[in-house]
Structure 1
Amino acid sequence: MSQAVGNTALAYTRVWHQVDASERVLGKLAERIALVLMGKHKPIYDPSVDCGDYVVVTNSRKIKVTGRKEEQLLFRKHSMFPGGLKETPYATMKQRNPDEIIRHAVSGMLPKNKLRERRLERLKIFPSYKMGRIGANIMRTFQDGTIPHDYDPSKPTTSQTLERLRQKKALAEVQETV
Protein backbone atom coordinates (compact mmCIF):
# COMPACT_ATOMS: atom_id res chain seq x y z
CA MET A 1 0.00 0.00 0.00
CA SER A 2 1.46 3.33 -1.02
CA GLN A 3 0.75 6.64 0.52
CA ALA A 4 1.06 9.90 -1.33
CA VAL A 5 3.25 12.27 0.66
CA GLY A 6 3.63 15.87 -0.38
CA ASN A 7 1.79 19.04 -1.10
CA THR A 8 -1.74 18.65 -2.35
CA ALA A 9 -3.51 20.88 -4.83
CA LEU A 10 -5.83 22.05 -2.06
CA ALA A 11 -2.91 23.56 -0.17
CA TYR A 12 -2.02 25.68 -3.21
CA THR A 13 -5.51 27.13 -3.73
CA ARG A 14 -5.60 30.90 -3.73
CA VAL A 15 -7.90 32.70 -1.30
CA TRP A 16 -9.08 36.30 -1.73
CA HIS A 17 -8.32 38.55 1.27
CA GLN A 18 -9.85 41.99 1.77
CA VAL A 19 -8.31 44.78 3.82
CA ASP A 20 -9.72 48.20 4.62
CA ALA A 21 -6.89 50.75 4.38
CA SER A 22 -8.70 53.60 6.13
CA GLU A 23 -6.68 54.97 9.04
CA ARG A 24 -4.02 52.23 8.62
CA VAL A 25 -0.29 53.01 8.60
CA LEU A 26 1.19 52.56 5.13
CA GLY A 27 4.34 50.62 6.06
CA LYS A 28 2.69 48.11 8.37
CA LEU A 29 -0.13 47.52 5.93
CA ALA A 30 2.27 47.03 3.01
CA GLU A 31 4.30 44.53 5.04
CA ARG A 32 1.22 42.45 5.83
CA ILE A 33 0.04 42.55 2.21
CA ALA A 34 3.48 41.47 0.95
CA LEU A 35 3.48 38.46 3.30
CA VAL A 36 0.09 37.33 2.00
CA LEU A 37 1.08 37.87 -1.66
CA MET A 38 4.20 35.73 -1.12
CA GLY A 39 2.29 33.01 0.73
CA LYS A 40 4.37 33.17 3.93
CA HIS A 41 1.23 32.71 6.01
CA LYS A 42 0.81 29.18 4.59
CA PRO A 43 2.61 26.11 5.96
CA ILE A 44 3.67 25.10 2.43
CA TYR A 45 5.66 28.30 1.78
CA ASP A 46 8.65 27.89 -0.52
CA PRO A 47 10.59 30.97 -1.74
CA SER A 48 10.91 29.57 -5.26
CA VAL A 49 7.20 28.77 -5.67
CA ASP A 50 4.46 31.36 -6.12
CA CYS A 51 1.86 30.11 -3.62
CA GLY A 52 0.45 33.43 -2.36
CA ASP A 53 -3.12 34.64 -2.28
CA TYR A 54 -5.06 37.55 -3.78
CA VAL A 55 -5.37 40.78 -1.78
CA VAL A 56 -8.07 43.42 -2.34
CA VAL A 57 -7.42 46.80 -0.69
CA THR A 58 -10.31 49.24 -0.28
CA ASN A 59 -10.33 52.90 0.84
CA SER A 60 -6.79 53.56 -0.36
CA ARG A 61 -7.53 57.30 -0.24
CA LYS A 62 -7.67 57.19 3.57
CA ILE A 63 -4.21 55.66 4.18
CA LYS A 64 -1.98 57.31 6.82
CA VAL A 65 1.76 57.81 7.11
CA THR A 66 3.65 58.48 10.32
CA GLY A 67 6.00 61.27 11.25
CA ARG A 68 6.76 63.98 8.70
CA LYS A 69 6.51 61.67 5.70
CA GLU A 70 3.48 63.56 4.43
CA GLU A 71 5.73 66.55 3.64
CA GLN A 72 8.99 64.69 2.93
CA LEU A 73 7.99 61.63 0.87
CA LEU A 74 8.63 61.92 -2.89
CA PHE A 75 7.75 59.47 -5.64
CA ARG A 76 10.35 59.47 -8.41
CA LYS A 77 10.26 58.13 -11.96
CA HIS A 78 12.63 58.66 -14.84
CA SER A 79 11.95 58.60 -18.58
CA MET A 80 15.58 57.56 -19.28
CA PHE A 81 16.13 60.71 -21.30
CA PRO A 82 18.43 63.50 -20.05
CA GLY A 83 16.50 65.68 -17.60
CA GLY A 84 13.63 63.19 -17.50
CA LEU A 85 13.37 62.84 -13.71
CA LYS A 86 9.84 63.47 -12.42
CA GLU A 87 9.23 63.90 -8.69
CA THR A 88 5.73 63.84 -7.24
CA PRO A 89 5.11 64.76 -3.58
CA TYR A 90 3.03 62.46 -1.39
CA ALA A 91 0.10 64.90 -1.06
CA THR A 92 -0.26 65.24 -4.85
CA MET A 93 0.02 61.48 -5.36
CA LYS A 94 -2.64 60.88 -2.69
CA GLN A 95 -5.09 63.11 -4.58
CA ARG A 96 -4.33 61.91 -8.11
CA ASN A 97 -3.46 58.23 -7.76
CA PRO A 98 -3.84 56.84 -4.22
CA ASP A 99 -3.56 53.20 -5.31
CA GLU A 100 -0.06 53.79 -6.65
CA ILE A 101 1.12 54.72 -3.13
CA ILE A 102 0.19 51.31 -1.76
CA ARG A 103 1.40 49.47 -4.87
CA HIS A 104 4.79 51.20 -4.62
CA ALA A 105 5.14 50.35 -0.92
CA VAL A 106 4.17 46.69 -1.41
CA SER A 107 6.48 46.39 -4.42
CA GLY A 108 9.38 47.59 -2.31
CA MET A 109 8.68 44.89 0.29
CA LEU A 110 8.49 41.99 -2.16
CA PRO A 111 11.66 40.12 -3.11
CA LYS A 112 13.39 41.46 -6.21
CA ASN A 113 13.05 38.38 -8.43
CA LYS A 114 11.05 37.06 -11.39
CA LEU A 115 7.99 36.34 -9.25
CA ARG A 116 7.53 39.98 -8.20
CA GLU A 117 5.39 41.13 -11.16
CA ARG A 118 3.18 38.04 -10.98
CA ARG A 119 2.59 38.65 -7.28
CA LEU A 120 1.77 42.32 -7.84
CA GLU A 121 -0.85 41.32 -10.43
CA ARG A 122 -2.77 39.64 -7.59
CA LEU A 123 -2.98 42.95 -5.70
CA LYS A 124 -6.22 44.83 -6.42
CA ILE A 125 -6.52 48.36 -5.00
CA PHE A 126 -9.62 50.58 -4.94
CA PRO A 127 -9.79 54.24 -3.78
CA SER A 128 -13.20 53.76 -2.08
CA TYR A 129 -15.09 50.86 -0.55
CA LYS A 130 -16.76 49.93 -3.88
CA MET A 131 -14.98 47.08 -5.65
CA GLY A 132 -17.49 45.88 -8.22
CA ARG A 133 -17.52 42.23 -9.22
CA ILE A 134 -14.26 41.47 -7.45
CA GLY A 135 -16.06 41.78 -4.12
CA ALA A 136 -17.85 38.48 -4.74
CA ASN A 137 -14.52 36.62 -4.51
CA ILE A 138 -13.65 37.83 -1.00
CA MET A 139 -13.21 35.00 1.50
CA ARG A 140 -11.38 36.66 4.41
CA THR A 141 -10.89 40.08 5.90
CA PHE A 142 -7.75 41.24 7.67
CA GLN A 143 -9.75 42.44 10.68
CA ASP A 144 -10.28 38.98 12.13
CA GLY A 145 -8.80 36.63 9.50
CA THR A 146 -11.74 34.23 9.54
CA ILE A 147 -14.59 33.39 7.22
CA PRO A 148 -17.94 34.69 8.55
CA HIS A 149 -20.45 32.01 9.56
CA ASP A 150 -23.09 33.47 7.24
CA TYR A 151 -20.71 33.79 4.27
CA ASP A 152 -22.46 34.09 0.91
CA PRO A 153 -20.10 34.21 -2.09
CA SER A 154 -22.70 35.96 -4.24
CA LYS A 155 -22.67 39.08 -2.02
CA PRO A 156 -19.63 41.38 -1.89
CA THR A 157 -18.34 41.67 1.65
CA THR A 158 -16.46 44.79 2.69
CA SER A 159 -15.58 46.22 6.06
CA GLN A 160 -18.40 48.73 5.70
CA THR A 161 -21.01 46.04 5.00
CA LEU A 162 -19.75 44.04 7.99
CA GLU A 163 -19.99 47.17 10.15
CA ARG A 164 -23.57 47.76 8.98
CA LEU A 165 -24.47 44.17 9.87
CA ARG A 166 -23.00 44.63 13.36
CA GLN A 167 -24.99 47.84 13.82
CA LYS A 168 -28.21 46.14 12.70
CA LYS A 169 -27.64 43.27 15.14
CA ALA A 170 -26.92 45.67 17.99
CA LEU A 171 -30.02 47.71 17.15
CA ALA A 172 -32.14 44.54 17.03
CA GLU A 173 -30.81 43.47 20.45
CA VAL A 174 -31.61 46.88 21.94
CA GLN A 175 -35.15 46.77 20.52
CA GLU A 176 -35.68 43.25 21.93
CA THR A 177 -34.72 44.35 25.45
CA VAL A 178 -37.10 47.34 25.35
Structure 2
Amino acid sequence: RIFFEQSGGGVTFSGGEPLMQHEFLLEALKACREHGFNTAVDTAGYSSAESFISIMPFTDVFLFDLKHPDDARHVEYTGVSNIRIIENLRMIIDNGKNVMIRIPVIPGKNDDEATLIEMRDLLMSLKRDNLLKISLLPFHRIGMAKYNKFGLAYRMNDTMPPSTQRMNDLKHFFSETGIKVRLGG
Protein backbone atom coordinates (compact mmCIF):
# COMPACT_ATOMS: atom_id res chain seq x y z
CA ARG A 1 0.00 0.00 0.00
CA ILE A 2 2.84 2.41 0.82
CA PHE A 3 4.52 1.75 -2.53
CA PHE A 4 1.21 2.29 -4.32
CA GLU A 5 0.56 5.59 -2.58
CA GLN A 6 4.10 6.87 -3.20
CA SER A 7 4.22 5.83 -6.85
CA GLY A 8 0.68 6.76 -7.88
CA GLY A 9 0.57 3.34 -9.51
CA GLY A 10 -2.14 0.81 -9.87
CA VAL A 11 -2.87 -2.75 -10.89
CA THR A 12 -2.50 -4.09 -14.42
CA PHE A 13 -4.17 -7.36 -15.39
CA SER A 14 -2.47 -9.15 -18.24
CA GLY A 15 -1.69 -12.69 -19.21
CA GLY A 16 -2.25 -14.61 -21.49
CA GLU A 17 -5.64 -13.01 -21.84
CA PRO A 18 -7.21 -11.79 -18.58
CA LEU A 19 -10.72 -11.94 -20.02
CA MET A 20 -10.38 -15.72 -20.37
CA GLN A 21 -11.02 -15.68 -16.61
CA HIS A 22 -13.71 -13.05 -16.82
CA GLU A 23 -15.48 -13.73 -13.51
CA PHE A 24 -12.24 -13.62 -11.52
CA LEU A 25 -11.12 -10.50 -13.39
CA LEU A 26 -14.39 -8.74 -12.65
CA GLU A 27 -14.17 -9.50 -8.92
CA ALA A 28 -10.51 -8.46 -8.78
CA LEU A 29 -11.27 -5.18 -10.59
CA LYS A 30 -14.12 -4.48 -8.17
CA ALA A 31 -11.81 -5.11 -5.20
CA CYS A 32 -9.21 -2.77 -6.66
CA ARG A 33 -11.85 -0.09 -7.13
CA GLU A 34 -13.03 -0.51 -3.52
CA HIS A 35 -9.45 0.08 -2.34
CA GLY A 36 -8.92 3.08 -4.61
CA PHE A 37 -6.40 1.42 -6.95
CA ASN A 38 -6.16 2.51 -10.57
CA THR A 39 -6.73 -0.41 -12.91
CA ALA A 40 -5.58 -1.42 -16.38
CA VAL A 41 -6.50 -4.44 -18.49
CA ASP A 42 -4.02 -5.61 -21.13
CA THR A 43 -6.05 -7.45 -23.75
CA ALA A 44 -5.97 -8.86 -27.26
CA GLY A 45 -9.67 -7.99 -27.44
CA TYR A 46 -10.95 -11.42 -28.44
CA SER A 47 -13.74 -11.83 -25.91
CA SER A 48 -17.47 -11.26 -25.81
CA ALA A 49 -18.81 -7.72 -25.82
CA GLU A 50 -20.69 -8.62 -22.63
CA SER A 51 -17.41 -9.41 -20.86
CA PHE A 52 -16.01 -5.99 -21.77
CA ILE A 53 -19.24 -4.21 -20.84
CA SER A 54 -19.17 -5.80 -17.37
CA ILE A 55 -15.57 -4.75 -16.61
CA MET A 56 -15.65 -1.25 -18.12
CA PRO A 57 -16.99 0.49 -14.98
CA PHE A 58 -14.04 -0.90 -12.99
CA THR A 59 -11.26 -0.37 -15.56
CA ASP A 60 -9.42 2.94 -15.87
CA VAL A 61 -7.45 2.11 -19.00
CA PHE A 62 -7.34 -0.65 -21.58
CA LEU A 63 -4.02 -1.67 -23.15
CA PHE A 64 -5.37 -3.05 -26.40
CA ASP A 65 -3.30 -5.11 -28.85
CA LEU A 66 -3.86 -4.70 -32.58
CA LYS A 67 -1.94 -7.28 -34.54
CA HIS A 68 -3.28 -6.92 -38.08
CA PRO A 69 -6.06 -4.84 -39.67
CA ASP A 70 -6.87 -7.36 -42.42
CA ASP A 71 -9.22 -10.08 -41.22
CA ALA A 72 -7.96 -12.88 -43.49
CA ARG A 73 -4.33 -12.27 -42.56
CA HIS A 74 -5.27 -11.91 -38.90
CA VAL A 75 -6.86 -15.35 -39.07
CA GLU A 76 -3.78 -16.72 -40.88
CA TYR A 77 -1.37 -15.39 -38.24
CA THR A 78 -3.41 -15.74 -35.04
CA GLY A 79 -6.06 -18.34 -35.78
CA VAL A 80 -8.96 -15.97 -35.02
CA SER A 81 -10.87 -13.25 -36.83
CA ASN A 82 -10.25 -9.62 -35.91
CA ILE A 83 -13.86 -8.56 -36.48
CA ARG A 84 -14.87 -9.08 -32.84
CA ILE A 85 -11.60 -7.49 -31.70
CA ILE A 86 -12.18 -4.29 -33.68
CA GLU A 87 -15.85 -4.17 -32.65
CA ASN A 88 -14.83 -4.45 -28.98
CA LEU A 89 -12.17 -1.77 -29.39
CA ARG A 90 -14.65 0.58 -31.05
CA MET A 91 -17.23 -0.08 -28.30
CA ILE A 92 -14.72 0.62 -25.53
CA ILE A 93 -13.59 3.87 -27.15
CA ASP A 94 -17.17 4.96 -27.93
CA ASN A 95 -18.05 4.38 -24.26
CA GLY A 96 -15.39 6.89 -23.25
CA LYS A 97 -12.92 4.47 -21.69
CA ASN A 98 -9.23 5.34 -21.94
CA VAL A 99 -7.35 3.16 -24.42
CA MET A 100 -3.70 2.69 -25.31
CA ILE A 101 -3.15 0.77 -28.54
CA ARG A 102 -0.24 -1.67 -28.69
CA ILE A 103 0.95 -2.78 -32.12
CA PRO A 104 3.57 -5.53 -32.36
CA VAL A 105 5.73 -4.73 -35.39
CA ILE A 106 6.60 -8.06 -37.01
CA PRO A 107 8.72 -7.83 -40.17
CA GLY A 108 7.14 -9.66 -43.07
CA LYS A 109 3.83 -10.08 -41.24
CA ASN A 110 2.34 -6.66 -40.54
CA ASP A 111 4.87 -4.04 -41.66
CA ASP A 112 4.26 -3.82 -45.41
CA GLU A 113 3.02 -0.51 -46.81
CA ALA A 114 -0.56 -1.63 -47.52
CA THR A 115 -0.99 -3.09 -44.03
CA LEU A 116 0.47 -0.01 -42.37
CA ILE A 117 -1.84 2.30 -44.31
CA GLU A 118 -4.83 0.12 -43.40
CA MET A 119 -3.78 0.12 -39.73
CA ARG A 120 -3.30 3.91 -39.74
CA ASP A 121 -6.71 4.41 -41.38
CA LEU A 122 -8.34 2.15 -38.78
CA LEU A 123 -6.73 4.13 -35.96
CA MET A 124 -7.82 7.43 -37.51
CA SER A 125 -11.41 6.12 -37.66
CA LEU A 126 -11.20 5.34 -33.94
CA LYS A 127 -9.54 8.59 -32.89
CA ARG A 128 -11.12 10.24 -29.86
CA ASP A 129 -9.62 12.11 -26.91
CA ASN A 130 -9.68 8.88 -24.89
CA LEU A 131 -7.45 7.07 -27.41
CA LEU A 132 -4.38 8.10 -25.44
CA LYS A 133 -1.47 6.68 -27.41
CA ILE A 134 -0.11 4.10 -29.78
CA SER A 135 2.81 1.96 -28.61
CA LEU A 136 4.83 0.32 -31.38
CA LEU A 137 6.39 -2.87 -30.01
CA PRO A 138 9.32 -4.17 -32.07
CA PHE A 139 9.42 -7.92 -32.66
CA HIS A 140 12.08 -9.63 -30.52
CA ARG A 141 13.43 -13.14 -30.28
CA ILE A 142 13.41 -13.47 -26.50
CA GLY A 143 10.93 -16.37 -26.57
CA MET A 144 13.15 -18.44 -28.86
CA ALA A 145 15.11 -19.98 -25.98
CA LYS A 146 11.89 -21.02 -24.24
CA TYR A 147 10.66 -22.78 -27.37
CA ASN A 148 13.98 -24.62 -27.65
CA LYS A 149 13.91 -25.56 -23.97
CA PHE A 150 10.53 -27.25 -24.40
CA GLY A 151 11.44 -28.88 -27.70
CA LEU A 152 8.95 -26.79 -29.65
CA ALA A 153 9.46 -25.54 -33.19
CA TYR A 154 10.13 -21.80 -33.28
CA ARG A 155 8.51 -20.67 -36.51
CA MET A 156 10.00 -17.18 -36.45
CA ASN A 157 13.65 -18.26 -36.84
CA ASP A 158 14.08 -16.26 -40.03
CA THR A 159 12.42 -13.12 -38.68
CA MET A 160 14.79 -10.46 -37.43
CA PRO A 161 13.77 -7.56 -35.19
CA PRO A 162 13.10 -4.30 -37.04
CA SER A 163 15.96 -1.80 -37.04
CA THR A 164 15.91 1.30 -34.87
CA GLN A 165 15.63 3.38 -38.05
CA ARG A 166 12.62 1.35 -39.21
CA MET A 167 10.90 1.81 -35.85
CA ASN A 168 11.57 5.56 -35.94
CA ASP A 169 10.13 5.71 -39.47
CA LEU A 170 7.01 3.90 -38.27
CA LYS A 171 6.70 6.25 -35.31
CA HIS A 172 6.71 9.17 -37.73
CA PHE A 173 4.21 7.40 -40.01
CA PHE A 174 1.72 6.72 -37.21
CA SER A 175 2.14 10.20 -35.72
CA GLU A 176 0.20 11.42 -38.78
CA THR A 177 -2.91 10.15 -36.97
CA GLY A 178 -2.55 12.96 -34.45
CA ILE A 179 -2.38 10.35 -31.69
CA LYS A 180 0.69 10.27 -29.44
CA VAL A 181 3.08 7.50 -30.56
CA ARG A 182 5.89 5.89 -28.60
CA LEU A 183 8.32 3.08 -29.24
CA GLY A 184 8.17 0.17 -26.83
CA GLY A 185 5.67 -0.61 -24.08
Q: Which has the larger radius of gyration?
A: 1
Higher relative contact order (CA 8 A, sep 6+): 1
Q: How high is the TM-score relative to the length of structure 1?
A: 0.30
TM-score where L is the length of structure 2: 0.29
| Greater per-residue helix proportion | 2
> 1 or 2, which has the higher strand percentage?
2
